[in-house]
Structure 1
Amino acid sequence: MSLKSSLAIAAGKSSYWFLHTFLKGGSSLPGIITNKIDPTILTTLARDYEVVIITGTNGKTLTTALTVKVLHEQYPDILTNPTGSNMVQGITTAFLTHQRTKSGKKLAVLEVDEANVVLITKYIKPTAFVLTNIFRDQMDRYGELYTTYQKILDGIANAPEATIIANGDAPIFHSRELPNPFIFYGFDHEPDGELMAPYNTDGVLCPVCHHILHYKALVYSNLGKYYCPNCGFKRPELTYRLTQLTQQTPTSSSFEIDGHPFKIQIGGTYNIYNALAAYAVGRYFGITQPQIQHAIDADQKVFGRQEIIQVEDKAVTLILVKNPVGLNQVLDMIALDQEPFSLVTLLNANYADGIDTSWIWDADFESLTHLPIPRFIAGGEREKDIAFRLKIAGVPEAKLVKKPELDDVITEIKVLPTKHVYVLATYTAVLQLRKKLDEKGYQTAPMAK
Structure 2
Amino acid sequence: MKQGFSNLRFLAAILAAKLSIVILRLLRSGGTSLPGKLALKLHPKILDRLSGLFRVTMITGTNGKTTTSRIVANMMEQNRMRVVTNKSGANLSSGITTTLISALTLGGKPRVTHALLETDEAAFRTLAPRLKPETVIVTNFFHDQLDRFGDLQTTVDKVREGISKIPDAVLILNADDSLCASLGRNVSNRIIYFGMGEGVYPETGANINNDAAFCMQCNSRYEYSSVTFGHLGHFSCPSCGFGRPHTHVECSGILSYDNLGSNIEISGPDMRITVKLALPGLYNIYNALAGASFGIAAGLDEKEIATALSGFESGFGRMETIHANDRELKMILVKNPTGFNQVLRFLLTQERPCVIALAINDKLADGTDVSWLWDVDFEVLTLMNDRIRAFYVSGTRAEDMAVRLKYAGISPDMIMMEKEYSQLISKALQKAEARESCYILPTYTAMMDIRKILKRRFGLKEFWK
Q: Distance in 2 between matches of 1:219 and 1:24?
A: 40
Q: Secondary structure at the match of 1:35?
A: helix
Paired position in structure 2 for 1:152: 159
Deviation at 1:228, TM superposition (A): 1.4
Distance change >3 Å, CA 414–CA 173, structure 1 → 2: closer
Tell me which residue corresponds to 2:443.
426
Q: Give the Cα–Cα distance (whole angstroms) in 2 for the partners of residues 301 and 15 of structure 1.
A: 29
Match of 1:256 among 240, 262, 265: 265
> In structure 1, how many angstroms separate the alpha carbons of the residues matched to 2:111 and 2:395?
47
TM value normalised by structure 2: 0.90
Query: What is the one-letter code of the residue matched to 1:67?
Result: V
Cα distance in 2 between the residues matched to 1:160 and 1:417:
54
| Aligned partner of residue 378 in structure 1, secondary structure | strand
2:413 maps to what in 1?
398
CA distance in 1, matches of 2:360, 2:307: 37
Secondary structure in 2 matching 1:209: coil
| Contact 2:81/2:113, CA 8 A, preserved across alignment | no
Call closer, same or farther: CA 1:299–1:40 in 2, change over 3 Å: same
Map of 2:86 onto structure 1 = 81
The aligned counterpart of 1:223 is 232
Aligned mate of 1:285, from 283, 298, 301: 298
Question: Counterpart of 1:249 in structure 2: which amino acid?
Answer: D
Give secondary structure in 2 for the equivalent of 1:349: coil
Flag structure 1 segments of 5+ consecutive residues without an equivalent.
445-449
Describe the shift of the 1:162–1:197 C-alpha distance in structure 2 as closer, same or farther (beyond 3 A). Answer: farther
Instruction: Describe the shift of the 1:143–1:197 C-alpha distance in structure 2 as closer, same or farther (beyond 3 A).
Output: farther
Paired AA for residue 395 in structure 1:
I
The CA deviation string for residues 345-399 of structure 1, in whole angstroms up to 9 with x for no partner, is: 1100111111110111000000001102121101111100111101110110111
Who is 1:270 aligned against?
Answer: 283
Change (3 A) 1:245 1:191: closer
Give the distance between the partners of 2:96 and 2:366, measured in 1 at CA.
20
| CA distance in 1: counterparts of 2:71 and 2:315, whole angstroms | 10
SS of match in other structure, 1:226: strand
Q: Residues of 1 paired with 2:297 and 2:129: CA distance?
A: 24
Residues 406-431 of structure 1: per-residue CA shift (max 9 Å, x gap): 12212311321443111111011111
Pick which of 171-180 and 368-377 moved more: 171-180
Is contact 2:208–2:231 with CA below 8 Å preserved after alignment?
A: no
Alignment of 1:40-439 (within 5 A): 40-98=45-103, 106-175=113-182, 176-190=185-199, 198=207, 200-258=209-267, 259-371=272-384, 372=386, 373-418=388-433, 419-439=436-456
Report the AA paired with residue 456 of structure 2. Answer: E
Give per-residue Cα distances to partners, 1:288-323, cap 9 Å, x unaligned: 110111111014120001111233443111000000
Residues 81 and 299 of structure 1: CA distance in aligned 2, closer, same or farther (over 3 Å): same
Q: Secondary structure at the match of 2:399?
A: helix
- AA matched with 1:5: F
Displacement of 1:121: 2.2
Unmatched 5+ stretches in structure 2: 1-5
Question: CA 1:327 to 1:202, structure 2 compared with 1: closer, same or farther past 3 Å?
Answer: same
TM superposition shift of 1:199: 5.0
Comparing 18-27 with 211-220, greater Cα deviation is found at 18-27
> Could you tell me how far apart the structure 2 residues matched to 1:76 and 1:325 are?
34
Residue type of the alignment partner of 1:396: S
Structure 1 residues 282 and 199, CA gap change in structure 2 (3 angstroms): closer
Moved more, 197-206 or 323-332: 197-206
Give the whole-Å Cα distance in 1 for the aligned partners of 2:113 and 2:222. 42
Cα drift, residue 197 of structure 1 = 7.8
Write the distance in 1 (CA, Å) between the matches of 2:90 and 2:420.
26
Q: Deviations over 1:24-78 (max 9, x none)?
A: 4211111010001111101222214221100000000010000111122323311
Indicate the residue corresponding to 1:447 in structure 2: none
1:440 alignment partner, one of 444, 447, 457: 457
Runs of 4+ in structure 1 off by over 6 angstroms are: 102-105
| Structure 1 position 206, deviation (Å) | 1.0
The answer to whether the 8 Å contact 2:277/2:310 transfers is yes
- SS of 1:415 mapped into structure 2: helix
Tell me the TM-score normalised to structure 1 length.
Answer: 0.93
CA contact (8 A) 1:189 1:245 kept: no
